[in-house]
């Protein structure tokens, strides 16, 4: 389903891809695509495809976490991000076998290293373009807007929620559920969450089963996530 779905999507959306690429080149300097390193299945690194929505070299000018009011976002990029058009090139990652249509969103290595035990489980599957967590947090940039420290809010508050949802989904994932997620993504049938505080403070997703309470999520374990943690500590 992934290969056929991505190939069909690329063919059908090729006119939109071309128009978007031309608009990016005409409105700001820099490449058409943004290629950031993400962590894929079994901890393998790959470069994700996105239409560039920020100024060139934006990653060297601020946090890896982007809020709605981030000054690095270009005017066209604001439009692309609002309508999630910047994510469409990830169909190429699916075609290359690096991602699936549905699966946990791939994170950057430093965020994976923050929760090694949880990611050791999640990295057993391919990351995806969309997911139930993606739908619930599609207004993530609005949630981050105005935060004193966007990175801290993402790592300490939003990411644990996503990990919790990923873990619950892995227990019941099926082809039918994946098709439903794709349709919900296309037709925006999920209402995004309105606020994020602690894992017990949001009634929209309080039925998500947590990971076992006796698991220390920050304790490193052997595996791909442990290697990422060691790499992060060496580079810090």
In three-state form (DSSP H/G/I as H, E/B as E, the rest C), the secondary structure along 70-125 is CCCECHHHHHHHHCCHHHCCHHHHHHCCCCEEECCCCCCHHHHCCCHHHHHHHCCC
The predicted structure's pLDDT at residue 8: 93
Average pLDDT of span 199-221: 38
Looking at residue 126, what DSSP letter applies? -
Position 213 scores a pLDDT of 31
Looking at the chain, the whole-number percentage of residues with pLDDT higher than 70 is: 82
Dist CA 215 CA 82 (whole Å): 37
Residues 89-118 pLDDT 10s: 999 999 999 999 999 999 999 999 988 888
Q: Which tokens sit at 212? A: 């076992």
Neighbours of 148 (CB within 10 A): 6
């Amino acid at each position: 389903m992934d290969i056929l779905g991505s190939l069909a999507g690329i063919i059908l959306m090729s006119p939109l891809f071309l128009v978007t690429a031309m608009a990016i080149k005409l409105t700001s300097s820099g490449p058409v695509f943004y290629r950031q390193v993400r962590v894929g299945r079994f901890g393998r690194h790959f470069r994700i495809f996105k239409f560039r929505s920020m100024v060139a070299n934006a990653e060297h000018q601020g946090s890896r976490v982007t809020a709605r009011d981030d000054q690095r976002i270009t005017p066209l990029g604001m439009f692309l991000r609002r309508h999630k058009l910047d994510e469409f090139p990830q169909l190429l990652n699916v075609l290359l076998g690096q991602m699936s249509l549905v699966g946990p969103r791939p994170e950057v290595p430093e965020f994976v290293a923050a929760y090694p035990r949880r990611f050791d489980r999640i990295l057993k599957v391919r990351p995806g373009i969309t997911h139930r967590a993606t739908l619930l947090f599609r207004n993530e940039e609005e949630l981050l807007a105005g935060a004193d420290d966007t990175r801290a809010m993402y790592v300490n508050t939003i990411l644990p929620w996503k990990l919790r949802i990923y873990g619950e989904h892995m227990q019941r994932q099926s082809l039918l559920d994946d098709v439903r997620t794709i349709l919900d993504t296309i037709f925006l049938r999920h209402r995004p969450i309105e606020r994020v505080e602690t894992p017990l403070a949001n009634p929209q997703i309080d039925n998500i089963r947590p990971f076992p309470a006796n698991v220390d999520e920050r304790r490193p374990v052997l595996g791909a996530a442990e290697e990422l943690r060691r790499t992060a500590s060496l580079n810090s």
